[in-house]
Structure 1
């Protein structure tokens, strides 16, 4: 029989494992007999030296055995009671690797053949007493539900020696400190050294090479971080989370998908619903990851795209064309991307967004940009000045681990706040500060942010806003051009008529990692972007008539947090029965998702598509009909990849005629002041031009681009905007000409 001493000491530092055979460990009495035999031999013979060497070896073995036998066993890990009706899953985190010095647990209730989640607790500052053979942990708990008995006491027998698992944990809840009679007691058996366990189903598109592992010693890293081979499961194992491979990974044949290898949000969501064999519309420790080719935005490395309905965070994707490579730097980047996207599924926000969690979480150094975490952006890494930032500084200091607060969330966050399919991304159990972000005491960023939109919206009308980022510095400023909230660097707070404030959380959270920046100066004083904010991870944001206050926050490349003015909009009450009917057809989770995706073929969104079709059939003359027409025209313009449950990838080809017909109506309605905003109008005309070219009429497409320039010039008065739209029109015309040669 062999014994291995635990490779982790009580203070959490890794130690080399020692392995020895019990039969090699001779009792002290045997050593004494050998010593006496040696002493009777004549001095100097070779046998004497051999016997003395044997004695020294035996004594060393005995010392090793005694040291192992006297080392207290670790008690860290997951325990569970075996009650017939109510069960407690306990997590003890007071020793082992990177202990957070906490205990937490989840309660479950079994009735009949079903088991349901009841609530959670965490003891964040317990008193820990280690006595001979036993560990006692107690303190006041924070519970997810009202409870009178908040005092928690955990008692775990702990012997000495090697691997035998900890004893039964006794958990007592009482209304007072030690001495108070417990109101509930649970006996919890040891289950695992991991605090949580998930099943990961990973599939890949043909032509991609899924990541396997990376040796952290291949490239320079911090001296304090030991070199080791990390896979994605191993990286989470170090955080105390077990990642189990579910099923057999599938390679998806793309031969039926045509030449289009890019994926958009609608296709990814539809693929998850149809292809994730473990998927259920329920909170479960299950996650699907797709290794896809590329995203419609080629700068996107990965995305957590599951943001529809009540059960979210179950699907993510990484894009191989952006992160591929077999050299150490590419393998290192792939590891970080995979771990980062799975982190979002555990409800971890980007390092610089944690103050937008509900309830808000503390930011790390320099507003979170200085965090050495899987969840930070490499190119955005910027510790407090004058320390250098950027990718080289990040990798030189990154220890390949989560931060302390992230560990606490992964190991001890309330069940629904962590489990896939639980709370929506970023949501916990409190309201956002109603002040809509605090004004900075000083702003030397040299940047200004303006939020604008129509002043009034009809009830049920998709709310689209525009952001304008400009420079206030005559010398000019450089920063990233990512204004879309989906990229995580811009946030919008929405204060409704009731006074409740919520942060707009887009259904899709994509991770854009590029060092490309834009220069804002006299030649290009501002950049613009518009987006729909009516629907997100929290559902519909404008569900009642009244006045709303909006405010945006932009995180610049240097970590500056630039605020917009407070922008007020009014959602009008419906005036007629027709208004009410149209609003009812326009409002709903599925319709909101379709507006966000600009259409989808997903069967999961079929009810939403039917509702929008009814608007066009019954109320085609209503002013809001322009929005279903935009959705229908946009969806008809795409080659929609469809991944079925039997792992076949096919493509529904675009219908240029259908797309042009609907987009024409959008343009006509807008020119009659009954349509969309200017940026959306420009998008619709560019999409129409591409469909005209695809239908075999490139000359018409070029005329459409010329018309777009004329229309935008008539509707705006900024020379810089005119230059941008002219350049965009020329780029589209060149593409059309090149593709039709």
Structure 2
């Protein structure tokens, strides 16, 4: 018979991390909350998790191992006794029992540093009873950011920080771009390293380039090690108290405090409460737009911020705690898995409404790309309902579109384009069966080249719309190995940020060493390999620029007019479009 464990029994088995001294195997026991769970990591880095209940007959916490990550092999069942004896059984093996020793109460240990831009305000704590709109039982204490995480089993300790960063780091406009934030992190964070580590950096700044509508951001999506840095923008909407608020100063401080914890939560790879299906799931995660969690927006729940904070206990949801405490380390640790990894595309696609359908395609019968051929993918949004649907004409070109790239046997990566576009709302009505479409260039972006290595890949897309997220079916494609030594030798010159940027934007007149070098490489490719797919892209980009006059911003911040070169343009465009069918296949309909 299975019953809930008596309180006295629960107290004899402390929640926390246990280890097996001989094998260094780690066990995470979590039995004093609403969802008793045991998870473990073997020396071979296999991570497993088992929901458990108290078994009165065997006097222990028992459950079936439901999820695994990495490695091979694992038992099917686990039994943990209050004495720390753990028995594994099932999967055709004889039961084995090992004794684990309590090591620590914290499931993870994380270091944090806070820095502040000159003139900005840092808010790293909040007095819980300073505002009258609160739960009646909220304790009378001042809560720090470190306290929030430590109280929930994630020991957080300050490792340094406190620097005042010159606002000049944001450039002449004094507002911060993601690149400027990243540069500030590498320059001022004492623990900066381009490698996975249990460390996070938080910057309190004035305003982002996007303006007062952006209160905070987890900006670190560049390079191999991501999710290490976030920023809070005090000169934004979070500094505006609700009209008629009885304690405006406390309301503003509360919102700044909430924003900081929210963005740090993203650094742990936590998605918003309504975005759990995005990415690729480790375990099924429930969408909860009404959650009273740091990962929800207070103003997005029914009743708005007033309803949210009247019932907010300054914590994460139970499922988010499950992820923080028990998910495989590489999914949670800063700098390891990319942002939004393992948050469940397929699960959400099956459950999503069918009024709009998001599609991915390439313009060729066989989805295979030659070595060094830039990958262009067409994205479409189709009204699959029997009624007209209103959408934004530019919905596929903005921040709402997310593309994930997963190579077989590789960790998935989020494609981060070189630029995002902010358009004025332009509603358009899609009649039943009608579509919007655009082309995206996932071959290159701020993460580098995620579609350059030979192999097979799956691409997924998600689109945020006012009526909910729309998920695509996966697009399978192949990148073929180099067909000759010349292509192989060119890889080092072609796979550079400069070439990626020039091709992503359809051409460049140069003006910097990187872009000038990229144009030289593309000129060589167009001349030496005119019949190749990369040759088509190179000739098209160079030809478009040569066909019309333009301006170049010089190093002394002056514009230099560059005249058109009709002769060169004709030769290049003839090379690019000599075979219209080939050009359409490789350039894509929207980039012809």
TM-score by length of 2: 0.68
Is residue 146 of structure 1 aligned with residue 66 of structure 2?
A: no
**For the residues of structure 2 that align with 1:610 and 1:448, how far apart are their CA atoms?**
43
* Residue in structure 2 matched with residue 48 of structure 1 by the alignment: none
Q: Which has the greater radius of gyration?
A: 1
Task: Return the offset for 1:212.
Answer: 2.7
More divergent stretch after superposition (340-349 vs 302-311): 302-311
SS of equivalent residue, structure 1 residue 401: coil
SS of equivalent residue, structure 2 residue 230: strand
* Residue in structure 1 matched with residue 543 of structure 2 by the alignment: 669
SS of equivalent residue, structure 1 residue 352: coil
Task: Return the offset for 1:249.
Answer: 1.9
Match for 1:92 among 24, 29, 44? 29
After superposition, the Cα gap between the structure-2 partners of 1:236 and 1:422, relative to the gap in structure 1 and judged at 3 Å, is: same
Task: Return the offset for 1:207.
Answer: 1.4
* Residue in structure 1 matched with residue 210 of structure 2 by the alignment: 297
Match for 1:585 among 477, 490, 493? 493
SS of equivalent residue, structure 2 residue 261: helix
Task: Return the offset for 1:697.
Answer: 6.1
RMSD of aligned alpha carbons: 5.4
Is residue 104 of structure 1 aligned with residue 39 of structure 2?
A: yes
Task: Please list every run of 5 or more consecutive structure 2 residues that lacks an aligned counterpart in the other structure.
Answer: 241-247, 506-511, 529-538, 563-592
Is residue 339 of structure 1 aligned with residue 250 of structure 2?
A: no
Task: Return the offset for 1:408.
Answer: 0.5
Larger helix fraction of residues: 1
More divergent stretch after superposition (336-345 vs 292-301): 292-301
On the 8 A contact 1:199/1:287 being kept in 2, the answer is yes
After superposition, the Cα gap between the structure-2 partners of 1:694 and 1:392, relative to the gap in structure 1 and judged at 3 Å, is: farther
* Residue in structure 2 matched with residue 208 of structure 1 by the alignment: 120
**For the residues of structure 2 that align with 1:569 and 1:289, how far apart are their CA atoms?**
38
SS of equivalent residue, structure 2 residue 414: coil
After superposition, the Cα gap between the structure-2 partners of 1:356 and 1:259, relative to the gap in structure 1 and judged at 3 Å, is: closer
* Residue in structure 1 matched with residue 536 of structure 2 by the alignment: none
> Counterparts in 2 of 1:369-380, with a 5 A limit?
369-380=289-300
> Counterparts in 2 of 1:40-119, with a 5 A limit?
73=11, 75-81=13-19, 83=21, 86-95=23-32, 98-107=33-42, 118-119=45-46
**For the residues of structure 1 that align with 2:141 and 2:190, how far apart are their CA atoms?**
33
TM-score by length of 1: 0.56
* Residue in structure 2 matched with residue 288 of structure 1 by the alignment: 201
On the 8 A contact 1:305/1:509 being kept in 2, the answer is no
SS of equivalent residue, structure 1 residue 351: coil
On the 8 A contact 1:265/1:597 being kept in 2, the answer is no
* Residue in structure 2 matched with residue 172 of structure 1 by the alignment: 86
Is residue 124 of structure 1 aligned with residue 51 of structure 2?
A: yes
**For the residues of structure 2 that align with 1:87 and 1:71, how far apart are their CA atoms?**
26
**For the residues of structure 2 that align with 1:533 and 1:545, how far apart are their CA atoms?**
15
Task: Please list every run of 5 or more consecutive structure 1 residues that lacks an aligned counterpart in the other structure.
Answer: 1-9, 13-69, 109-116, 157-168, 382-387, 599-608, 626-664, 674-680, 702-741
Task: Return the offset for 1:200.
Answer: 0.5
Match for 1:401 among 312, 315, 318? 315
* Residue in structure 1 matched with residue 191 of structure 2 by the alignment: 278
On the 8 A contact 1:355/1:363 being kept in 2, the answer is yes
After superposition, the Cα gap between the structure-2 partners of 1:317 and 1:153, relative to the gap in structure 1 and judged at 3 Å, is: same
Match for 1:558 among 467, 490, 504? 467
After superposition, the Cα gap between the structure-2 partners of 1:343 and 1:462, relative to the gap in structure 1 and judged at 3 Å, is: farther
Is residue 137 of structure 1 aligned with residue 61 of structure 2?
A: yes
On the 8 A contact 1:468/1:528 being kept in 2, the answer is yes
SS of equivalent residue, structure 1 residue 290: strand
After superposition, the Cα gap between the structure-2 partners of 1:256 and 1:397, relative to the gap in structure 1 and judged at 3 Å, is: closer
Task: Return the offset for 1:102.
Answer: 1.3
After superposition, the Cα gap between the structure-2 partners of 1:118 and 1:363, relative to the gap in structure 1 and judged at 3 Å, is: closer
Task: Return the offset for 1:314.
Answer: 2.0
On the 8 A contact 2:115/2:202 being kept in 1, the answer is yes
> Counterparts in 2 of 1:440-479, with a 5 A limit?
442-443=354-355, 459-463=371-375, 477=390
Match for 1:414 among 328, 345, 352? 328
Count of matched residue pairs: 522
SS of equivalent residue, structure 2 residue 122: coil
